[in-house]
Structure 1
Amino acid sequence: MGKGIQVWTEPVIERRFAEGYGSGEGSNYIPWIGTHDVASKGRTHRPWSPIYGRTFQLLSDVEWQTFLLLEHSRKFAELYEGYPLERKITLEIAAALGIRHPHYPGTNVPTVMTVDFLAVDRRGTDARIAAFDSKRSEEMDGDSAEGSIAKLQITRAYFAGMNVPHHLVLHSQLNQRILENIEWIRSGIAKKGEIEPYDGYFNEKVDQMLYELMNGSHTCSLGEYCRAFDERHGMQLGDASRVARMLLWDRRLKCDLRNSKASSLPVNSFLVERDYASRRAVGQ
């Protein structure tokens, strides 16, 4: 049997809703469509997010890139991928706009439309919601453009009716250097079930590096500094780079991610979170 659901029917849709697909809050959310449910045209990704406490199911590279930016922004307390839209409303919108509602291939069953990401910002007194769809640029200017544009028209009208902003993310408009740097930083975060050389190893090295950066003057690149740090502290080659990425991930170390590889930037161009370092020093 091929990958994904072979034939979408009304009973299949009813069963999925009953099983909790497209529902749940926070870390308990289950996307309407997962990486094993469809034959994706591109690569799929299943990243674990320590920010959101669960594994995301992303159906393309551009969804992965959008996820990286949304997660890295730290603006959203909740992030839901593959979020289903209420079909009754999307059908009404399509009829009002004179657009044929999407149907599952080879059927007369109207598609349960989804938005790639629904993000919830809980800063302040009221929760603010934003919707994001991720597309490759050629999807908007090719043989399939008509269908893609029709879906976006329905989606935008749907969220406009809810007073929720809807954003279209095109891969050609993304800053690839920022994405490369975020991926590099993200690769240093602690893994589930990871075994350290000894208990508290990375926390200890994080404090040591933070102290050095706060109290020393370094003109070399971050990569060169990390290699020297490995040698000074008798660490396995590459561990200091991992420590630096942990600091960057936690925003205790900050730099401009836009134009250069973070590892090639001079150490004296980084900002050190001194308040955090002071709190660690007094055990807070």
Structure 2
Amino acid sequence: MAKQPWTEGKMNKWLKEGRGQGELEGYRPWITAQDYPSNGRSSRIKGWKTGRIHHFLSDIETRYFYLLEFDGNEIWDIREHYPALDLQDTLGDCDIDLDKYCDKESGGTAYIFVTTFLLTLMNADGTKRYIARSVKAAAELEKSKVLERFELLRRYFAEKQIDWGIVTQHDINVTRAKNIEWVHSAKNLDDDAEFSVQDVPRLKGILLEWLDGTRKSVRDATNALDTQFNLTPGSGLLLLRHLIAKKQVLVNMDERIDLGKPVKELVRGSDAIRDGGDVRDAVDG
């Protein structure tokens, strides 16, 4: 597919659509999964913190998002593909030629620089602070054009007094991210679940009691819950995923969750993992 020209009309259309604006459920990313030909790695995920659908274009972006969701207790809002709309005005006269970052075919419309994530952190006193992260495959950092664009982003966010940095696949614990992915959709139970939120305390108490005393594997223990309460097969496992996502059942998220393991080898005490983690662990890997 030929590259579409970037015009002032298209930019104004996106701005009118509200792209790059708003917070939480009202935010619209500057770039969505529909805007570019799919490379097979794009994803759309409903966020815990925002309640909206997030758009990602690569596995690295998606996995980093899962870490932010699970480990970032101080993170109040996650805005992906956040545009630096006023970059050219903010940087003004600099030693990098900004004219090269304009679409010559459209009459010189400036391209919009984007950072993969703008995070809003809530301080204990209720004030907010911001962290920006650009996610990129490590091999891309060997390209001079990528480095120059990132240097411009670094300068831009420095002017805004926002901590900006780069995240590559080497900064991401893939096992942890995959485990979070496995439990992520189970955190907020909907009406389609075999049991309602109101049923959770009772079933949770029963499941936790079983987990505490059984020598069975995790899979056998959750299957037993299905059988005893005539639940749809897989409901006990859904409940376990829900409890892990809510951090009411603690497991070592840095090891692959193996349902064939005995319960006592998988389910750990509260000191086995960080209870939520520090935001620096989530942001910086």
TM-score by length of 1: 0.81
Corresponding residue SS for 2:203: helix
Contact 2:137–2:168 (8 Å) recurs in 1: yes
2:21 maps to 1:20: no
Measured after TM superposition, the shift of residue 204 of structure 1 is 4.3
Query: CA shift at 1:59, angstroms?
Result: 1.8
Secondary structure of the residue aligned to 1:231 is helix
Measured after TM superposition, the shift of residue 250 of structure 1 is 0.9
Moved more, 227-236 or 156-165: 227-236
State the shift of 1:177 in Å: 0.9
Q: Deviations over 1:230-259 (max 9, x none)?
A: 333333332111100000111111121112
Report the counterpart of residue 124 of structure 1 in structure 2: 124
Do the aligned partners of 1:252 and 1:272 also contact (CA within 8 Å) in 2? Answer: no
Q: Please give the alpha-carbon distance, in whole angstroms, between the structure 1 residues aligned to 2:14 and 2:31.
A: 10
Between structures 1 and 2, the one with greater strand share? 2
Pairing partner for 2:226 from 213, 226, 230: 230
Q: Greater relative contact order: 1 or 2 (C-alpha under 8 angstroms, separation 6 or more)? A: 2
Contact 2:48 2:69 in 1 (8 A): no
1:112-142 Cα offsets, whole Å, 9 max, x none, are: 111111011113122121111111122113x
Please give the alpha-carbon distance, in whole angstroms, between the structure 1 residues aligned to 2:180 and 2:130.
24
Question: By how many angstroms is 1:48 displaced?
Answer: 1.2
Amino acid in structure 2 at the alignment position of 1:30: R
Q: CA RMSD in A?
A: 2.9
State the 1:50 CA deviation. Answer: 3.4
Mark the CA change 1:233 to 1:192 in structure 2 (over 3 Å): closer, same or farther.
closer
CA contact (8 A) 1:131 1:167 kept: yes
Q: Please say if residues 90 and 156 of structure 2, whose CA atoms lie closer than 8 Å, have aligned partners that are also in contact.
A: no
Secondary structure of the residue aligned to 2:81 is: strand
- Once the two structures are superposed, residues 206-244 of structure 1 have per-residue CA deviations (whole angstroms, 9 ceiling, x without a partner) of 34324544xx33344433422333333333332111100
Do the aligned partners of residues 105 and 65 (structure 1) sit closer, same or farther apart at CA in structure 2, a change above 3 Å counting? farther
Distance 2:162 2:258 in 1: 35
Q: Is the 8 A contact 2:117 2:132 kept in 1?
A: yes
**CA separation of 1:82/1:236 partners in 2, compared to 1, >3 Å: closer, same or farther?**
same
What is the distance in 2 between the residues matched to 1:106 and 1:146?
Answer: 23
TM-score, normalising length from structure 2?
Answer: 0.80
C-alpha change, 1:198 and 1:85, in structure 2 (3 Å) is: closer
| SS, match of residue 77 in structure 1 | strand
Paired residue secondary structure (1:263) = coil
> Which residue is equivalent to 1:282?
none
For structure 1, the residue ranges without an aligned partner over 5 or more in a row are 274-284
Equivalence for 2:137 = 136
Q: Unmatched 5+ residue regions in structure 2?
A: 272-285
Checking the alignment, whether the CA contact within 8 Å between 1:132 and 1:166 is kept in structure 2 is yes
Query: Deviation of residue 196 (structure 1)?
Result: 3.3
% identical aligned pairs:
22
Query: How far apart, in 1, do the equivalents of 2:74 and 2:196 lie?
Result: 34
Q: Distance in 2 between matches of 1:176 and 1:111?
A: 33
